[in-house]
Amino acid sequence: MSTTTVSGGDPPSRGFDTPTLDREAAALLHAISEHGGYAYVSMAVLASGGDIRAAEAAREMAWEQLHSGPWHSVLPVWRDAYSMACLHVARHHYGNGEFLDALRVLDLGIIMGGTLLRKDLDSAIEKVSEQTRRSVRVSDLGNSEHRLVDREFDMAEVLQLLPVKSLSTKLVVKKSALSLEKFLKDHYLSGCPVIISDCMSHWPAKMKWNDEDYLLRVAGDRTVPVEVGKNYLCTEWKQELITFSEFLQRIKSDSCSPGGPTYLAQHPLFDQINELRKDIFIPDYCFTGGGELRSLNAWFGPAGTVTPLHHDPHHNILAQVVGKKYIRLYSSSLSEELSPHSGTMLHNSSQVDLDDMDEKKFPKVQDLEFVDCILEEGEMLYIPPKWWHYVRSLTTSFSVSFWWSEGESSDAS
């Protein structure tokens, strides 16, 4: 059994500091009233004087605004308003010694809120975490009972789950100790995928992330967004906000749950949880071409998660830290044949469901050329921009994607 405890510690003598909020509150409230948020403003003013009911009411009002339409159309000012209300509510919980409640509200502020008050949220989380940090018996770390992936892998069983023709035609080339020059010339500039092996052994994550106790210790009480369902194109698919410890519980029991797996997908977890950020390094390949790192995302879930066929605009290195994934790639030149969805939201996703191929509707797709692979622990896959990719986890799996853009002067096509 895992032995996790919340350390008692001395009760806090004072709340946490919010220098940005103190400086920006008046201007932010003014901007909110200019967008018609008078009721929010009057609640926020009361909240700043310590009125918890007003703070909760303000948070509720901002939450409604965040859910009033598509995410991209939410006004930034309402995201900042949400962060502000979260800070007020969290300060109240903190003062009462309700540290887990404070942590949850601050995490919601980070996940749903805007950028203006981000520093205040981060430093408040650091302070609250001092009170909630879990301790794990040192002797438990590395205990195989608590490893997330330790089962033997049955290839014959796995092949039955994969789309037709998997692993039977052309595999992604694999190179070890690939130099930056070779990467630039043979892959980045020529738009050619590659698996790079032997380049992650120095990451602390390689040692630590397969250990449930470690993850519980550094992240157990943190709130994270997860996706539940077969995949994001299905109607029953939904998003939830749960604690990392609940998520780990689901991973252990969830892979064959009827509602589909729970997937912590495409989430900037490392901006949120500093301890996990310290366990990884940005691969030097990501600085090739003079571009800029765009995002660093976590993809963590049980066996059976599927990211359906889609493409992204950036260069991508997908680093496989724990477990294995099957990945299939189609060239960007095949976009038309892969029938992207119409409309702005899903224009980069294919209508072709590789797990349930409709041959009448897409008679030619079976003949399209692709490359595929099983991405093993410790390997990184380079996916060029706009290449279509389908991803299925074959075991519990924890990967990190690094997206970067082209430099201005890059002559990459």
CA distance 88 to 51: 9
Cβ closest to ligand AKG, residue 288 vs residue 401? 401
What are the distances in angstroms from CA 11 to CA 127, 128, 130, 136, 220?
A: 12, 11, 11, 22, 21
What's the closest the beta carbon of residue 400 comes to ligand AKG, in angstroms? 9
The residues that bridge with 223 in the sheet, in sequence order, are: 243
What's the closest the beta carbon of residue 404 comes to ligand AKG, in angstroms? 12
What's the closest the beta carbon of residue 389 comes to ligand AKG, in angstroms? 6
Report helix, strand and coil shares of the chain as percent, to nearest 5: 40, 20, 40
Cβ closest to ligand AKG, residue 42 vs residue 266? 266
CA distance 200 to 379: 7
What's the closest the beta carbon of residue 96 comes to ligand AKG, in angstroms? 40
Binding site for ligand AKG (CB under 6 A): 299, 307, 312, 316, 318, 389, 391, 399, 401
- The tokens describing 291, both together, are 């571009």
H or E element that contains 186: none
Cβ closest to ligand AKG, residue 94 vs residue 388? 388
What are the distances in angstroms from CA 330 to CA 172, 224, 266, 404, 408?
A: 11, 32, 21, 20, 26
What's the closest the beta carbon of residue 314 comes to ligand AKG, in angstroms? 8
Cβ closest to ligand AKG, residue 93 vs residue 325? 325
Cβ closest to ligand AKG, residue 83 vs residue 305? 305
Cβ closest to ligand AKG, residue 78 vs residue 330? 330
The DSSP-derived string for 120-152 is HHHHHHHHHHHHH-EEE-GGGTT-GGGBS--S-
What are the distances in angstroms from CA 130 to CA 6, 56, 68, 88, 187?
A: 10, 25, 36, 19, 45
What's the closest the beta carbon of residue 309 comes to ligand AKG, in angstroms? 10
CA 314 from chain centre, in angstroms, equals: 16
What's the closest the beta carbon of residue 104 comes to ligand AKG, in angstroms? 26
Cβ closest to ligand AKG, residue 113 vs residue 302? 302
What's the closest the beta carbon of residue 338 comes to ligand AKG, in angstroms? 15
Cβ closest to ligand AKG, residue 114 vs residue 304? 304
Contact 413, 302 (CB under 8 A): no
CA distance 382 to 243: 31
Contact 5, 48 (CB under 8 A): no
